[in-house]
């Protein structure tokens, strides 16, 4: 048998989450195939073939795959599912949209958000916002899995030499239509892929102050900007910057939290960062319990000083 990874891509290149998912797939079953379904997605299929550890790329092309609509993607996965012992998706918005449809149609239990593969049928996944780790064993013949990408190193994007096979596209389900997308444009690194993140909390007090204080630090460090939910809800930072249980899960090399208390729901999104720096004027703030470096200070003084010193 083999493991099948459903690639995330933009029809030209492979998105980083796919690389972490390949690593998880290799831990499940040495023989890894990648499905690239898209429109004129030959370049993405070729890129997938370069990923180290991938044995075969299945390339499916059709206009109805251009935007990865979940109904069409699920139908395509189901058409080839019987050949696989494991079907893995990154636990991204897209993967989480497709995987349950596949699991339901196969009548198997979905294994969500795994952070470790103990054996081909046993997996670890965080529960209670990361406060406990559940070990889950599945006796299903096909294991449909979503992968928490921060739990696995990225497979090398080059060095592989997989074969690329074209497969018959399934028909358009007609159940959904792509209407359009509004994509935030930023010169900064994408939050979930960033090596350095600086995040601001409610303490910033306004969107203007958030920008005035946090942006220079992010610029100096070449960092992505993040925020607590309180900062997002108050309109200090855009929605897609939210880090945490109901935001993005990140694991950068360096995470700087300024004016963030460290509520359990925020920690759930960032406590796997390699080095955590917290700036908070309250010595009792829970963020200090996970911080490698804690600075008890007024952020409005400390952050500009830090920027000046960098």
Ligand X SMILES: Cc1cc2nc3c(=O)[nH]c(=O)nc-3n(C[C@H](O)[C@H](O)[C@H](O)COP(=O)(O)OP(=O)(O)OC[C@H]3O[C@@H](n4cnc5c(N)ncnc54)[C@H](O)[C@@H]3O)c2cc1C
Residues of this chain that bind ligand X (CB under 6 A): 201-203, 228-231, 242-247, 259-261, 263, 265-266, 269, 279-282, 285, 298-300
* Residue corresponding to tokens 């290149």: 13
- Beta strands 32-38 and 54-61 are parallel
* Residue corresponding to tokens 């004016």: 259
Nearer to ligand X by Cβ, of 36 and 267: the residue is 267
Nearer to ligand X by Cβ, of 29 and 113: the residue is 113
- Three-state DSSP class for residue 231: helix
Shortest gap between Cβ of 93 and ligand X (angstroms)?
14
Shortest gap between Cβ of 70 and ligand X (angstroms)?
23
Angle of the 207-221 helix axis to the 299-309 helix axis, nearest 10: 30
Shortest gap between Cβ of 112 and ligand X (angstroms)?
17
Q: Which secondary-structure segment (H or E) carries 217?
A: helix 207-221
Nearer to ligand X by Cβ, of 84 and 255: the residue is 255
Shortest gap between Cβ of 233 and ligand X (angstroms)?
8
For 175, the token pair is 């159940």
Nearer to ligand X by Cβ, of 97 and 245: the residue is 245
* Residue corresponding to tokens 């990140």: 250
Nearer to ligand X by Cβ, of 65 and 210: the residue is 210
For every residue of 251-268, DSSP letters joined together read: --SEEEEES----HHHHH
- Give the nearest residue (CB) to ligand X: 244
Shortest gap between Cβ of 126 and ligand X (angstroms)?
14
């Amino acid at each position: 048998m083999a493991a099948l990874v459903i690639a995330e891509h933009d029809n030209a290149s492979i998105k980083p989450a796919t690389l972490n998912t390949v690593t998880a797939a290799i831990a499940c079953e040495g023989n890894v195939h990648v499905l690239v379904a898209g429109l004129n997605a030959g370049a993405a299929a070729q890129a997938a073939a370069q990923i180290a550890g991938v044995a075969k790329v299945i390339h499916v092309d059709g206009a109805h795959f251009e935007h990865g609509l979940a109904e069409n993607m699920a139908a395509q996965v189901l058409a080839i599912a019987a050949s696989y012992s494991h079907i893995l998706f990154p636990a991204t918005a897209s993967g989480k949209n497709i995987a349950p449809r596949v699991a339901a149609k196969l009548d198997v239990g979905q294994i969500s958000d795994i952070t470790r593969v103990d054996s081909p049928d046993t997996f670890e996944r965080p529960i209670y916002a990361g406060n406990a780790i559940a070990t889950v064993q599945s006796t299903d013949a096909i294991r449909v899995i979503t992968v928490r990408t921060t739990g696995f190193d990225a497979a090398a994007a080059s060095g592989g030499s997989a074969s690329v096979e074209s497969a018959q596209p399934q028909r358009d389900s007609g159940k959904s239509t792509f209407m359009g997308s509004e994509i935030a444009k930023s010169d900064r690194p994408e939050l979930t892929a960033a090596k350095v993140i600086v995040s601001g909390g409610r303490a910033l007090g306004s969107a203007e102050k958030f920008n005035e204080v946090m942006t220079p630090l992010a610029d100096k460090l070449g960092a992505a900007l993040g925020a607590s939910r309180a900062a997002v809800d108050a309109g200090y930072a855009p929605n897609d910057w939210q880090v945490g249980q109901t935001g993005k899960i990140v694991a950068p090399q360096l995470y700087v939290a300024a004016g963030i208390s460290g509520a359990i729901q925020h920690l759930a999104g960032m406590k796997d960062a390699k080095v955590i720096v917290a700036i908070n004027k309250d010595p009792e703030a829970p963020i200090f319990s996970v911080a490698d470096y804690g600075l008890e200070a007024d952020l409005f003084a400390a952050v500009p000083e830090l920027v000046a010193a960098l």
